[in-house]
Homo-oligomer: A and B are copies of this chain.
């Protein structure tokens, strides 16, 4: 069974919201539902739709994997509190750091995060909650060129490590399956949610660290990211980021030669991320940014700025 696309242009947000609320409500009935909120626009919209449809029959979890930016879990909690939505924050930092131990291959890092999320953390919440309805923020782009319908649901259970035999009775609800990102942003706006945030990768700060992932290296890139987002907030750029390199370079600290860390800054001008050019930052902005990083994150002795367009570069480094 195929999925009928609703383009952003033809989307009537008011009608869409009403319809999805009604469908969720009808599907769940007197049951209970569960969803995981990441803070991204897709899961935020699903959380709001679910809340409007189900109220207290929906439990929304925010899984703190320890890989987020400064204040992100609290920021998400606060944003939803103003709509009366209670978000339960689950501390799963240990599980995620353990699963990432020693891995340097970017694909394997992504896989470790996905596996830990589904198989270790979320599946336990699903089972313990007793909920039979899962709300998911899948969008059309996620299933492009793949199958829709029943087979997809099998996939979700597989990811959760739930035996499809035992999954009898579970239902996956995907209210955004007909939309693409621009459509979801329109719905977010209509719901009063923040909808203009900078894109941020799924594997969070792990996508900004070359080499092994440790709590210390994540804390370091978290600090550099906070400084970068602070200093570049007024640029109007499409996306900006700090990247922790694995290569060390010589530096001077207290008059002594040290072998220190490097941070690369990327700041992109782009319409749709398909092509992009480095933002023309002033010399002063670049110098201030570098000075703050080497001062506030003293393990870092070198900061560089990307000057390559995409292609042949890509937005993210890994």
Is A306's beta carbon under 8 Å from chain B? yes
* A304-B304, A305-B305 as given contacts; A252 in contact with B311, CB under 8 Å: yes
* A246-B247, A247-B247 as given contacts; A313 in contact with B302, CB under 8 Å: yes
> Which of A251, A277, A289 has the most chain B CB atoms closer than 10 A to its own CB?
A251
Q: What are the residues of chain B within 8 A of A294 when measuring CB–CB? A: 308, 312
Q: Tell me the nearest residue of chain B to A249, going by C-beta.
A: B317
Which one of B247, B280, B287, B314 lies within 8 Å of A250 (CB-CB)?
B314
State how many copies of this chain the complex holds. Answer: 2
* A246-B247, A283-B280 as given contacts; A290 in contact with B314, CB under 8 Å: no
Is A307's beta carbon under 8 Å from chain B? yes
CA distance A264 to B248 in the complex (A): 13
Which one of B210, B289, B307 lies within 8 Å of A305 (CB-CB)?
B307
Per the 8 Å Cβ criterion, residues 228-258 of A in contact with B are 245-247, 249-253, 257
Per the 8 Å Cβ criterion, residues 246-276 of A in contact with B are 246-247, 249-253, 257, 260, 264-265
**A-B pairs with beta carbons under 8 Å apart, 24 shown:** A210-B247, A210-B249, A245-B245, A250-B314, A251-B311, A251-B312, A251-B314, A252-B311, A252-B312, A253-B311, A260-B312, A277-B287, A280-B283, A286-B307, A290-B307, A290-B308, A290-B309, A294-B308, A301-B312, A302-B308, A304-B305, A304-B307, A304-B308, A305-B307
